[in-house]
Structure 1
Amino acid sequence: MEQWKKNLVVLWFGQFLVMAGMTMIIPFLSLYLQFDLGLTDQHEIGIWAGIIFAGNFVTSFIFQPIWGRLADRYGRKMMLLRSGFGMAVVMALMGFATTPWHLLLLRMLNGTISGFNPASIALISSTTPKNRMGFAMGTIQSGGIAGTILGPFIGGLLADTIGFRPIFYLTGAFLFAASLLALFIVKEPFDRAKAAAREQVSVLQGFRQLSGIRELTALFAVTFLIQFAMMSPMTLIPLYVQELHGTTENLAFFAGFVGSVTGLSNLVASPLLGRLSDRIGAERVLGCALLGAALAFIPQALAGTVWQLLAARFLLGVFLGGLIPAVNALIRKYTPDGMESRAYSFNTSTLSLGNMIGPITGGALSGWIGIQGLFILSGVLLLANAAWVWQSLLRKRPVRSKA
């Protein structure tokens, strides 16, 4: 097997385990706070659960660009191993938490040392042949999506069989094993002498330099708006399903199905649309997928039954499957040599920002416009972003691919 394919296989499993570990606590976090950490007031449990879950994204948003700068200086594999082994230890320590503060601080520490995903993408982008870039980006994306989908399911299943604390120990062990595989199998042709000879700029200077490239600014906006559009109605979807379903029978099943069906279609579509972008160009796939995703929010707002909502959410996932791989491939195309890791880290920061702002904004606006209004708002924002992408990347196809 060619080395780039070995890298892709190992890092696919790494992405899966990292994202599964991040989302595995969703089904039992409130129960862990109640039965193991001693909270009794339901309102207090809800507040702590929200803060603890968000803590990871807050610190990740702040520290990702710093790790990206170091990755461009010392190598992506080194940053990948730092993050993988570090998260394995922190995840295991979560099983020893005795107060909510312990769990919050560990989640924030986890976000601080995270960076496995952007380092993986940067490493894949630097080792994959250009004519297979779309396929590789789509495949690596499917690993993260699979972890995000199956993480809550696995967490809920394990909570009923082995208890809460052992889940953290098991997840830490899996992350450690994935990092060991990366240590011995993943190869990166990184020239440290060449990297050291480049002008070293600060995180702020790097951001100014990259944000001055209009194509990258448009791509960062796509990442932010994807997460914002996905997360803003997320906490309200169970209520929307209840309204459409009209009964409490099998309500939890349908609510979970609606929440996961987008990820399932995304998982299937990502490698296929990534392969298509290798043939027709990532810009075209991005433009069509962005327009399709924007329009797919409209039938969600107009749904009259749960099955109509499921179909619309499935369609949305298909278009989302073309967005992230295309964005990652184009970031590699328009980023100056030696700044790839930093660009992917800034992109991860915008993703974390969307994860933070989306639910807050959705909750704040839901009282005025309802969940249907949130779907329409998300569609309008993505349409505006599609116009921006068309102006920046499609109207005048640039000749250059590197600054």
Structure 2
Amino acid sequence: MEQWKKNLAVLWVGQFLVMAGMTMIIPFLSLYLQTDLGLSDPHETATWAGIIFAGNFVTSFLFQPLWGKLSDRYGRKMMLLRSGFGMAIVMVLMGFAQNPWHLLLLRMVNGTISGFNPASVSLISATTPKERMGFAMGTLQSGGIAGTILGPFIGGLLADAIGFRPIFYVTGLLLFLASLLAMFVVKESFDRTKAAAKPNVSIIQGFASLSRIPQLKSLFAVTFLIQFAMIGPMPLMPLYVQELHGTAVNLAFWSGLVGSAAGLSNMVSSPLLGRLSDRIGQERILLVSLIGSALLFIPQAMAGSVWQLLVLRFLQGVFLGGLIPSVNALIRKHTPDGMESRSFSFNSSTLSLGNMIGPIVGGVISGWIGIEGVFITSAVLFVLNALWVNRTLLAHRKQRQG
């Protein structure tokens, strides 16, 4: 097997385990706070659960650019292993938390040392042949999506089988094994002497330099808006399912099924659309995916049953699978040599920012014009995104070809 394929296979497993570890706590976080960490008031428990879950994204947003800078200077594999082994230790420590503050601080530390995702993307982009870039990015994305979907399901099963605290120990062990596998199998050709000879540009200077490239500035904004529009409706989905389904039995089952439908089709379509983008161009796949996703948001606001919502979410997931992999491949295309990791880390920060702000604004919009209005707002944002992509990326591609 070619080395780039070995790298891709190992990092797919790593992406799966990292994202599963991040989302595994969703089904039992509130229960863990009540049974093991001493909270009893429902309102206090809900507040702490929200703060603890968001804490990871806050510090991740702030520290990703630093790790990107160090990755360009000392190598992507080193940053990958730093993040993997570090998160394994922090995950185990979460199982020893004695109060909500301990868990919050550990989640924030986890976000601070995180960076497995951008380091993986950067390493794959540097070791994969350019003609296979779309396929590699799509396949890597499918690993993260699979972990995001199956994480809560696995967490729920383990919570019933072994209790809450042992889940953190099991997750930490799996992260450690994935990092160990990456240490021995993943390889990159990185010249530290050459990297050290380059000017030591600060994080702010690096961002200013990359922002002067109009295509990158557009791609960073596209990532933020994609994540903002996708995540905004997610916390409201159980309420919407309840509105459509009534108070009948199996409400939690239907909420979970609707929530994972888009992820399932996304996981399958990402490698396929990535392979297609290698033939017809990532810009075109990105534009079509944005328009398709926007069009499928609108009927979701008008769904008359849970089955309709389920089918629409599944179809939308097909288009969502073409978004982030196309963005990552285009970032690599437009980033100057030697700044790839920094560029991917800035993009990861904008993604974390979308994760933070999307649910907050979605909740405000829902209170103002209803849950249906959140879907319409997301559709509008995707259309604006498509217009921006057409103007900055497709126009540039045509000029270059012309």
TM-score, length-normalised on structure 2?
0.98
Cα deviations by residue, 1:119-163 (Å, 9 ceiling, x for unpaired)? 000000000001110110000000000000000000000000000
C-alpha spacing 1:265/1:181, structure 2 compared with 1 (3 Å)? same
Residue in 2 that maps onto 1:270: 270
Residue in 2 that maps onto 1:112: 112
| 1:322-333 correspondence to structure 2 within 5 Å | 322-333=322-333
| 1:202-241 correspondence to structure 2 within 5 Å | 202-241=202-241
| 1:33-72 correspondence to structure 2 within 5 Å | 33-72=33-72
Query: 1:213 offset after TM fit, Å?
Result: 1.1
Aligned length: 401
1:30 paired with 2:30, answer yes
Residue in 1 that maps onto 2:378: 378
The answer to whether the 8 A contact 1:218-1:385 is kept is no
Query: 1:332 offset after TM fit, Å?
Result: 0.2
| 1:289-304 correspondence to structure 2 within 5 Å | 289-304=289-304
C-alpha spacing 1:386/1:259, structure 2 compared with 1 (3 Å)? same
Query: What residue identity is the alignment partner of 1:314?
Result: F
Query: 1:247 offset after TM fit, Å?
Result: 3.4
The answer to whether the 8 A contact 1:223-1:351 is kept is yes
Residue in 2 that maps onto 1:361: 361
Query: 1:295 offset after TM fit, Å?
Result: 1.1
RMSD between superposed Cα atoms in Å: 1.1
Query: 1:305 offset after TM fit, Å?
Result: 1.0
| 1:274-293 correspondence to structure 2 within 5 Å | 274-293=274-293
Query: 1:65 offset after TM fit, Å?
Result: 0.3
Residue in 1 that maps onto 2:140: 140
The answer to whether the 8 A contact 1:241-1:254 is kept is yes
Residue in 1 that maps onto 2:7: 7
Cα deviations by residue, 1:154-179 (Å, 9 ceiling, x for unpaired)? 00000000000000000000000000
Structure 2: which 5+ residue stretches go unaligned?
Answer: none
What SS class does the counterpart of residue 302 from structure 1 fall into?
coil
TM-score, length-normalised on structure 1?
0.98
C-alpha spacing 1:353/1:178, structure 2 compared with 1 (3 Å)? same
The answer to whether the 8 A contact 1:262-1:313 is kept is yes
Cα deviations by residue, 1:316-342 (Å, 9 ceiling, x for unpaired)? 111110011100100000001100001
Query: 1:399 offset after TM fit, Å?
Result: 6.6
| 1:236-255 correspondence to structure 2 within 5 Å | 236-255=236-255
Query: 1:396 offset after TM fit, Å?
Result: 3.3
Query: 1:251 offset after TM fit, Å?
Result: 1.1
Cα deviations by residue, 1:78-117 (Å, 9 ceiling, x for unpaired)? 0000000000000000000000000000000000000001
Query: What residue identity is the alignment partner of 1:308?
Result: Q
C-alpha spacing 1:61/1:398, structure 2 compared with 1 (3 Å)? farther
Question: Partners of 2:73 and 2:296 in 1: how far apart?
Answer: 41
Structure 1: which 5+ residue stretches go unaligned?
Answer: none
Query: What residue identity is the alignment partner of 1:19?
Result: M
State the identity as a percent.
77
Question: Partners of 2:333 and 2:223 in 1: how far apart?
Answer: 16
Query: 1:248 offset after TM fit, Å?
Result: 2.2
Query: 1:257 offset after TM fit, Å?
Result: 0.6
Query: 1:397 offset after TM fit, Å?
Result: 1.4
Query: 1:395 offset after TM fit, Å?
Result: 2.0
Q: Which moved more, 1:311-320 or 1:83-92?
A: 311-320
